Structure 1
Amino acid sequence: MSKRTDVLFAIKQLINLALPGAKVLGLDGAEAPPAVVPATGMVVVRTGDPGEPQIDLSPPSYNYEHRIPLEVSGLKSGGLTSEEALDVMLMAIGEGIAADRTLGGLCDWLDTTSAATEDIYAEGGSQPPRGADIMIIASYSTPNPLA
C-alpha cells in the first residue's frame, strides 16, 4: 500500500485501541454511518487531504502535512452526560496520539487540532448525542508522491 494509505489505516487502528468499545468506521468504502449513535460512541475516520508536499531534491523526498478528519460522537450513558462521554472519548484519542506520535515510525509526527463540538439532532432521541470534529495532522515523507 501507499504511505498515505498506511498512515490512514494506522490512525484507524490507533482509534480502535484508544476507544475499544466504540464503533470506528471509515476507509473501506462499505460502511455508512448508522442513523443512531451506539451507546459506546462512534468515530468516523475520513481520508482527508495530504495537500501539496514540500519537496527536498537530493534525494527526492515529498513531505506531507496530511490533515485527517475525525467525526467523534458521544452519547449519554453510564451516568455521564453526552458532553462528558464525548470528552472522555476525545481525551482517550489524545492520549493514544501522545503515546505513539510516530505511529511506530510510520510518521515523523502526529498532532491534532482542538475539537469543534455540537449537538447531533436525530429523530426520536430524548438526549441528543454530542459530536466533535477534529483533525489529526500526520507529518510524513515519501520518495514518490504516488507511493
Structure 2
Amino acid sequence: MITRRETVLKALHEALLGMPGGATVMRNAVLPERIPDAGLVILRDGTPGTPEVTLSPLRWHWQHRAELEVFLRGGDLDERFDALTAAIGALLAGDRTLGGICDWIEAEAPEPADLPVEGATTIRAAALGITLHYTTADALA
C-alpha cells in the first residue's frame, strides 16, 4: 500500500515532468556530471515536519516541505532562470491540489547562486521550497 505522502510526492513529480521548456526532471537523484542544455530540476522529498492533529475524527494535517533544486548552465542565465522558475510557478498555480491528491501546494521564492566551474560555463543553481498540505488518517499512512 502506498502512503499518502508518497502519493502526493509522485503526483508532484509527474506534474513537473509535464512542464514546458524541456528541462530534465528527476526525483532524489544524484547531481549528474553534465547539466542538460534546457536545465535540470531535481525534486527532493524533504520532510513532512510535525503535523497538527485533530481528534474527532482523528487526522494528521501535514505541511510537508519538499525542495526543488534547479540547475542551468551557459547562455543568458538571468533570462533562462527567470523563465524556468516562472514555468514552475505557473505549473503549481495551475493546479494547487495536484488533481485533488493534495489539499494545497505553494512555492517559496528561489534562492539562486552562481557556481563558477573552472574551464566551463557558470552554473546557476537554486533551491525552491515547496510546501505540500495534506491530511492522513494515521501518522504513518
**Do the structures match in fold with TM over 0.5?**
yes
Q: Deviations over 1:78-133 (max 9, x none)?
A: xxx012111111000000000000011111111011111011233431x3121111
Residue 75 of structure 1 corresponds to which residue in structure 2? Answer: 73
- Measure the CA separation in 1 of the matches of 2:74 and 2:117: 14
In structure 2, which of residues 61, 86, 94 is the aligned counterpart of residue 91 of structure 1?
86
2:32 aligned counterpart, secondary structure: coil
- Measure the CA separation in 1 of the matches of 2:114 and 2:6: 31
Residue 140 (1) aligns with residue 134 (2): yes
2:45 aligned counterpart, secondary structure: coil
Unaligned 5+ runs, structure 1? none
Q: Is the 8 A contact 2:115 2:125 kept in 1?
A: yes
Q: Is the 8 A contact 1:63 1:139 kept in 2?
A: yes
Unaligned 5+ runs, structure 2? none
> What percentage of aligned pairs have identical amino acids?
35
1:94 aligned counterpart, secondary structure: helix
State the Cα RMSD in Å.
1.3
- Over 3 Å counting, the alpha-carbon distance change for 1:20 and 1:146 in structure 2 is farther
TM-score of the pair, normalised by structure 2: 0.93
* Deviation (angstroms), 1:20: 5.4
2:126 aligned counterpart, secondary structure: strand
Q: Is the 8 A contact 2:21 2:38 kept in 1?
A: no
Q: Is the 8 A contact 2:25 2:42 kept in 1?
A: yes
TM-score of the pair, normalised by structure 1: 0.89
Q: Is the 8 A contact 2:16 2:91 kept in 1?
A: yes
Structure with greater proportional strand content: 2
Residue 49 of structure 1 corresponds to which residue in structure 2? Answer: 47
Query: How many residues in Structure 1 have an aligned counterpart in Structure 2?
Result: 140
In structure 2, which of residues 99, 103, 113 is the aligned counterpart of residue 108 of structure 1?
103
1:48 aligned counterpart, secondary structure: strand
- Measure the CA separation in 1 of the matches of 2:117 and 2:30: 16
Q: Is the 8 A contact 1:25 1:44 kept in 2?
A: yes
